[in-house]
A and B are shown apart, each in its own frame.
Chain A
Amino acid sequence: MVVHHKLKVVMMTIDEQFEELKQFYPHAKRATESGIEFILIPELILPSGCLPEKIDAVLCPTMRDGYDSRLFYAEQITGIPTKNWNGKLRICDRSWVSYSWKSSSGMTLLQMVMYHLHTLKCT
């Protein structure tokens, strides 16, 4: 861990961020494809009201297609406000869907997952 005392900003390495994520999602795993590292979160529990209640998801934590980060789901989620769902995209030998929602940069992996889960309930 690198601590910049002047700025009071704590920067975590990607490995430290992944360890933090695994405290919440112990089955999370990493794989690289076409130079991009993805994080698989099996049976991610979704916010209440979502259907299904849990689903496999994959996090792309780096810039791709103009999104700073993006959470992809194994299938479209219902029980939430209408979203611009895209067609199926291929990541690591599996088809995934997501919707258009911009995020900001500078978040840790755990913060990214929490942010994207939060947007499920947003309009």
Chain B
Amino acid sequence: MNKVTIRISEELCTRIRKDLSRPHAHAYERVGFLIGRSKTLPENEELICLTEYHPVEDDNYIKDDSVGARINSNAIREAMQIVMTEKCCMFHVHMHFGHGTPEFSETDLTELPGVAQAMINANPNRTHGILLLSENGADALVKENNMPAKAVDKVVILGYPMTFNHSFYKDTHFSSTRYDRQSFLGEWAQHKLSSVKIGVVGLGGGGSHIVQQLSHLGVLNFVIFDDDFVAESNLNRLVFANLNDAETQIQKNLVFKRLIKGLHPEANITLVNSKWQEEPELLHSCDVILGAVDSFSGRRDLELDSRRYLIPYIDIGMDVKIVDDNAPRLFGQVILSAPGNPCMKCIGFLNDEILTQEANRYGDAGNKPQVVWSNGVLASNAVGLCVDLITGWSGNIDPCIYQEYDGNNMSMTKTYRLDYLNRDACDHFPSNQCGPPIWK
């Protein structure tokens, strides 16, 4: 079986935990089923986005004091019916109270693979399995036809912070001396930073700072998208590029491969010398995406794919406006668009008017003013946000982040717009539209 990655939003996990915590008349615990939509990614990775929860009806529990919960054939048949009609993956889900990555019990390992096998019988062309939740973590098994269940390589809960199953990151190796000064990030922070895969779209003034800082932090897995070459006009802001790079018009990607490999010879770097839209599956394999693109439609499209495949998207950008004889106004933004939370439309950053104006210029964002220090401020905040999202070191739990940069006053503040925002789940990206699209 391929490498398997499972993603599920914290918002959906919270709903499931709430349902599974309800008392039952005679069962000690509750169980349910989760629909998954799968996609094959490069390097034989199978990505499964868990999108819809189906609780087991009260009447479908059998009285049995030897186990926490036993369900009848009706419950299993209903799940099999969904698998057949929806052509989807199906995961049995239950919960163990406690924190961290939960462990399957002997009973789980003995009894539940049979439920997954029933789903295989209903549709052998999809991957089925078992998801186990704790109060703040998850782990999962997948089943192949008539084979023992197998541990899932990576289980990610998309919350703030993100939660990964312990086996995904626990065995990574790094020099503790090198990262001694950032050990405040947490006991397992360096393991997580070494294990996650970060996508960076756009290697301009902002993107170059992002790659440089992530590399120093100890991120080892990168997918970097840029189809441009170093030119003399980049040298005012493209950190780590030099005069020789401009004279030889080297690809920007190669400059940053040089940077990363200089710090980490063992780093796993995928360079994409084209627009990300040419190789979207490489983007979908990333755990976090940082975008430093010029256009609003480019941001919209990055958010569309990020939301579809349950990936947090961090956006940065800057601009300068000159009105009449006033001094230039230097401004920008750092935004986190996290699955299950308000999107860039909800928070008022993207709207039809802006996108229409840009389309009227045939999508050309133009040569926007760029300057190294504001690129650096915005990129630094985006990297800080990314690290916090992965490690949770700050204790912040608000997943809705929209910071506005005022370059004239050298300040970065939370936008007032969030004070008036409906924080309920985003209407633009409902969880049942995650994963590959369903054309009907």
Q: Chain A residues in contact with chain B, CB under 8 A?
A: 29-35, 40, 63-67, 84, 86-93, 95, 100
Contacts of B301 in A (CB 8 A): 89-90
Closest 3 CB pairs of A and B: A66-B356, A29-B439, A65-B359
Interface code B411-440, partner A: CB below 8 Å = 1, 0 otherwise? 000000000000000011100010011111
Q: Are A93 and B439 in contact (CB under 8 A)?
A: no
Q: Are B308 and A93 in contact, CB atoms less than 8 angstroms apart?
A: yes
Report which of A34, A66, A91, A92 forms a contact with B360, defined as CB distance below 8 A.
A66
Does B265 count as interface, using CB distance less than 8 angstroms?
A: no
Kindly identify which residue among B360, B427, B437 contacts A35, using a CB–CB cutoff of 8 Å.
Answer: B427
By a CB distance below 8 angstroms, the chain B residues around A32 are: 433
Task: Give the residues in chain B near A64, CB-CB below 8 Å.
Answer: 352, 355
Specify which chain A residues have a CB less than 8 angstroms from the CB of B345 in the assembled complex: 34
Let me know if B305 and A90 touch, CB within 8 A. Answer: yes
* Chain A to chain B contacts (Cβ below 8 Å), 13 pairs: A29-B439, A29-B440, A30-B439, A33-B304, A34-B307, A35-B428, A63-B352, A65-B297, A65-B355, A86-B363, A90-B304, A92-B439, A93-B308
Report yes or no: A90 in contact with B440, Cβ–Cβ below 8 A: no
B297, A89: Cβ atoms under 8 Å?
Answer: yes
Interface residue stretch chosen among B170-178, B203-211, B273-281, B321-329: B273-281
A30 near B428: Cβ-Cβ < 8 Å: no
Given contacts A29-B439, A90-B277, 9 further A-B contacts (CB under 8 A): A30-B439, A31-B439, A35-B428, A65-B358, A87-B277, A89-B277, A92-B437, A93-B280, A95-B277
State which of A29, A33, A87 has its C-beta within 8 Å of the C-beta of B363: A87
Residues of B within 8 A of A65 (CB): 297, 352, 355-356, 358-359
The answer, yes or no, to whether B184 is at the interface (CB within 8 Å) is no
Measured CA separation A89–B297 after assembly (Å): 8
Q: Contact mask B343-359 → A, CB, 8 Å, 1/0? A: 10100000010011111
Contacts of B65-94 to chain A: CB distance below 8 A:
none
Check A88 against B277 for contact (C-beta < 8 Å). Answer: yes
Q: Which of A30, A34, A63, A86 contacts B429 (CB 8 A)?
A: A34
Question: What CA separation (Å) do A93 and B47 show in the bound complex?
Answer: 14
Give the complex CA separation of A40 and B436 in angstroms. Answer: 14
Which residue of B is nearest A91, CB measured?
B304
Binary interface encoding of chain B residues 272-302 relative to chain A, with 1 for a CB under 8 A from any of its CBs, else 0: 0001011010000000000000000100010
Given contacts A89-B301, A93-B305, contact A40 B280 (CB under 8 A): no
Chain A residues closer than 8 Å to B363, beta-carbon distance: 86-87
CB distance from B23 to the nearest CB of A (A): 37
Chain A residues within an 8 Å CB radius of B277? 87-90, 95
Across the interface, which residues of B come within 8 angstroms of A95, CB to CB? 277-278, 280
Interfacial chain B residues near A89, Cβ < 8 Å: 277, 297, 301
In Å, the complex CA distance between A92 and B42 comes to 19
Give chain B nearest CB distance to A37 CB in angstroms.
11
Question: Are the C-beta atoms of B439 and A40 separated by less than 8 Å?
Answer: yes
- Taking the closest CB of chain A, its distance from the CB of B306, in whole angstroms, is 10
Chain A nearest Cβ from B309, distance in angstroms = 9
Contacts of A40 in B (CB 8 A): 439
Q: Cβ of A34: which chain B residues have Cβ within 8 Å of it? A: 304, 307, 343, 345, 428-429
Residues 250-283 of chain B, each 1 if its beta carbon lies under 8 Å from chain A, else 0: 0000000000000000000000000101101000
A40, B343: Cα distance in complex, Å: 25
Contacts known (A65-B355, A93-B305); A31 close to B440, Cβ less than 8 A: yes
B437 and A33 form a contact (CB under 8 A):
yes
Q: Is the CB of B440 within 8 A of A87?
A: no
Instruction: Determine the distance from Cα of A35 to Cα of B343 in the docked complex, in whole angstroms.
Output: 12
Residues of A within 8 A of B433 (CB): 32-33
CA distance A63 to B356 in the complex (A): 10
B345 (CB) vs chain A CBs: closest residue: A34
Contacts of A30 in B (CB 8 A): 439-440
Most B C-beta atoms less than 10 A away, residue of A64, A67, A89: A89
List chain B residues, Cβ under 8 A from A88. 275, 277-278
Collect the chain B residues with CB atoms within 8 Å of residue A35's CB: 427-428
Q: How far is the CB of A85 from chain B (nearest CB, A)?
A: 9
- The interface residues of chain B lying within 8 Å CB-to-CB of A93 are 280, 305, 308, 436-437
How distant is the Cα of A90 from the Cα of B427 in the complex, in angstroms? 19
Q: How far is the CA of A63 from the CA of B360 in the complex (A)?
A: 14
Complex CA distance for A47 and B339, rounded to whole angstroms:
42
Give chain B nearest CB distance to A32 CB in angstroms. Answer: 7
- Contact: A84 with B439, CB < 8 Å? no
Contact (Cβ within 8 A) A31 B437: yes
Residue ID in chain A nearest B356 by CB atoms: A66
Q: A-facing mask of B305-347, CB < 8 A → 1, else 0?
A: 1011000000000000000000000000000000000010100
Question: Cβ of B427: which chain A residues have Cβ within 8 Å of it?
Answer: 35
Residues of A near B358 (CB, < 8 A) are 65
- Nearest CB on A from B308, distance (A): 6
A87 and B275 form a contact (CB under 8 A): yes
Chain A residues lying within 8 Å of B362, measured Cβ to Cβ, are: 84, 86, 100
Instruction: Give the one of A66, A87, A90, A92 with max B CB within 10 A.
Output: A90
Closest chain B residue to A29, Cβ basis: B439
Distance between Cα atoms of A100 and B305 in the complex (Å): 23
